């Protein structure tokens, strides 16, 4: 049963925004703030990490699938769509049985999960003409991250397919934006056979050797010859926003594919409430610099909308005008 129409009708009754509106909040909201002088509404919160979305089974269809559409998360921060998979018709993705994962490009910011998070799925199968396109799956999935295990596998299905979302909740987390992956030194053309960039957000006390590959976040994986590095040496990542526990660790791993054996390297970052971190990786005859931007989150966007901006010096909430009138200012004279 398609629950999307009822979900949309209920949402439009209580929200002034358009249903399709995407979140405008950035993952670097407090990056430029001064350490120790954070706004009072900047918080580290319970957030939801999205690892992967894949098609696990199809019925009355044949591989490969040519799909497009949107999969978005919606939390209580601003009630807008936070796109995880956003693929226009003319930029369709071919999904095969050997590689059934959707190529995620989001989230655009961290997903807060103090309250249940909804996932809105609207995917179509591309035909030879737009009039021949078919609905692949259209559904709503709600997830209460406070119930059950820390790591969860969410399932949604219809007549045509079964889909699996792998997610994990992170306590006391901040937003990490992998801002740049830049080849700063090279002896020969970089990544001639493609490359892969992944990251892992390790909770406190968890060692890298015990962290499964299924809980790595794929930022880029190019094995098909697609050009992913520009003339200045900057790597074009597919996604770049992840959650990291403030008392944990973020690891970025880069692999250069080679017929003689892949070359790998990684860097470790200690999460911060704001500002930037830079580290370098040596891969064969090239050196790659990774820049991460850190930021706290907001519970909701009301404060920012009211002020029109983030005040890095607004450490305390303003007093209500009625209280200001009642205060005896003579004691401060």
**What are the pLDDT digits (tens) for 150-209?**
999 999 999 999 999 999 999 999 999 999 999 998 888 889 889 999 999 998 777 776
Average pLDDT over residues 299-327: 54
Beta strands 93-95; 111-112: pairing state: unpaired
Q: Is the pLDDT score of 68 beyond 60? A: yes
CA 75/CA 93 separation, integer angstroms: 26
Q: Is the pLDDT score of 121 beyond 50? A: yes
Q: Would you state the pLDDT for residue 15?
A: 76
| Domains delineated in the chain | 3-30+47-170 (2.60.40), 174-295 (2.60.40)
pTM score of the predicted model: 0.88
φ/ψ of residue 220, rounded to 5: -165, 140
Percent of the chain with pLDDT over 70: 88
Span of 32-46, 180-194, 286-300, 305-319 with lowest mean pLDDT: 305-319
Q: Would you state the pLDDT for residue 165?
A: 97
CA 218/CA 226 separation, integer angstroms: 16
Residue 86 near residue 106 (C-beta atoms within 8 A): yes
Average pLDDT over residues 123-129: 97
Q: Would you state the pLDDT for residue 213?
A: 82
Nearest to 149 by CA among 169, 165, 171: 169
Q: Is the pLDDT score of 147 beyond 50? A: yes
Beta strands 93-95; 134-143: pairing state: unpaired
Span of 74-78, 239-243, 321-325 with lowest mean pLDDT: 321-325
Average pLDDT over residues 204-233: 82
User: Over the stretch 17-40, which tens digit does the pLDDT of each residue have?
Assistant: 788 899 999 999 999 999 888 888
Residue 26 near residue 35 (C-beta atoms within 8 A): no
Q: pLDDT band at residue 308, thresholds of 50, 70 and 90?
A: low
- Average pLDDT score over the chain: 88
Q: Would you state the pLDDT for residue 305?
A: 66
Maximum Cα interatomic distance, the chain, rounded to a whole number of Å: 81
Q: pLDDT band at residue 304, thresholds of 50, 70 and 90?
A: low
Average pLDDT over residues 290-298: 96
Q: Would you state the pLDDT for residue 313?
A: 44
Of the CA atoms within 13 Å of residue 72, those in its CB half-sphere come to 19
Q: Is the pLDDT score of 328 beyond 50? A: no
Q: pLDDT band at residue 210, thresholds of 50, 70 and 90?
A: low
Burial of residue 173, with CB atoms counted within 10 A of its CB: 0-12 exposed, 13-18 middle, 19 or more buried: buried
């Amino acid at each position: 049963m398609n629950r999307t129409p009822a979900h949309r009708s209920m949402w439009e009754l209580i929200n002034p925004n358009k249903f399709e509106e995407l979140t405008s909040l950035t993952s670097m909201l407090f990056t430029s703030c001064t350490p120790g002088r954070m706004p009072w509404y900047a918080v580290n919160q319970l957030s939801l990490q999205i690892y992967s979305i894949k098609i696990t089974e199809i019925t009355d269809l044949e591989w490969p699938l040519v799909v497009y559409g949107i999969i978005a998360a919606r939390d209580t921060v601003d009630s807008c769509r936070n796109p995880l998979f956003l693929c226009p018709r003319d930029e369709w993705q071919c999904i095969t049985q050997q590689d059934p994962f959707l190529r995620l490009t989001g989230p655009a910011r961290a997903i807060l999960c103090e309250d249940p998070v909804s996932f809105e799925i609207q995917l179509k199968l591309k035909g030879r003409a737009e009039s021949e396109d078919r609905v692949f799956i259209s559904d709503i999935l709600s997830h209460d991250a406070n119930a059950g295990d820390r790591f969860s596998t969410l399932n949604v299905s219809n007549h045509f397919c079964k889909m699996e979302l792998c997610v994990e909740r992170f306590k006391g987390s901040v937003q990490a934006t992998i801002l740049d992956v830049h080849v700063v030194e090279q002896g020969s053309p970089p990544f001639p056979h493609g490359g892969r960039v992944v990251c892992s957000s390790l909770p406190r006390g968890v060692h890298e050797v015990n962290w499964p590959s299924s809980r790595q976040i794929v930022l880029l994986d190019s094995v098909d010859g697609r050009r992913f590095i520009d003339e200045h040496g900057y790597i074009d990542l597919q996604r770049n926003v992840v959650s990291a526990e403030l008392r944990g660790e973020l690891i970025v791993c880069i692999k250069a594919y080679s017929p003689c054996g892949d070359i790998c390297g990684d860097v470790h970052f200690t999460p911060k409430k704001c500002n930037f971190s830079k580290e370098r990786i040596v891969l064969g005859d090239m050196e790659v610099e990774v820049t991460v931007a850190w930021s706290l989150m907001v519970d909701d966007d009301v404060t920012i909308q009211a002020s029109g901006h983030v005040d890095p010096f607004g450490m305390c909430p303003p007093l209500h005008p009625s209280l200001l009138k009642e205060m005896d200012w003579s004691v401060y004279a």
